[in-house]
Amino acid sequence: MSKQLVRDGPPAAEVIVVGPPDVWRAVVKTVDGGCHVLAFATLEELDRWRRTTTLEDPSIHPDLVAALIEAGCPLGDLPGRLRSVLESLGREIKIPLLRRLEGEWPSRRSFYRTWHTHLEIAPAAFLRRVRALQASRLLANGRTKKEAALQAGYSSVDQMRRNMRRREHATCKSP
């Protein structure tokens, strides 16, 4: 079983130790206070950790920004309140339900009025576009179709495929 031993503050460096607990405990005592120590009992454990650890951004922020650009309205061009709601949405790992966006406004009508003043695409279609972009990014990063579909919030690979096809068709139609 791997252990992560972190001193206070952001790590200045990382040290990976493969060996019994007495070895990594000695390393922890001798390293700099800002150092992040990862300890593994075996090389197989280290390999398993390396296969499952990625550097990709788990949030939907890159997909949200790409969807806004496709819609012709960069995040910086939106009014403060809508921008802050979309920025908080971007920190999520999964696409939330439309109700969550609507809930950020005093009334649904106010939300839709603000949305349609600045974006031509409907909120539900926008969220579908973000989901399709997230799935595309996950596939490009080496995820299997099933992993990408489930992580992006689809109920099946077929649903993901249909949504991605719909998005490609809509993108091709746009001027």
pLDDT band at 28 (very low <50, low <70, confident <90, very high): confident
Contact of 61 with 68, CB cutoff 8 Å: no
CB burial of 150-168 (b: ≥16 within 10 Å; e: otherwise) equals bebbbeebeebeebbeebe
Q: Of the ranges 9-23, 113-127, 151-165, which one carries the lowest mean pLDDT score?
A: 9-23
pLDDT for the residue numbered 35: 67
| Domains of the chain, each with CATH number or no CATH | 3-52 (no CATH), 61-173 (1.10.10.60)
Structure tokens at 51: 């296969």
Higher pLDDT, 21 or 14: 21
Kindly state the average pLDDT of the residues 53-63: 76
pLDDT for the residue numbered 151: 87
The proportion of the chain whose per-residue pLDDT surpasses 90, expressed as a percent, equals: 29
pLDDT for the residue numbered 172: 44
pLDDT band at 118 (very low <50, low <70, confident <90, very high): very high
pLDDT for the residue numbered 114: 92
Residue 13: pLDDT over 80: no
What is the CA 4 to chain-centroid distance, rounded? 23
Q: How many angstroms separate the CA atoms of 86 and 65, rounded?
A: 9
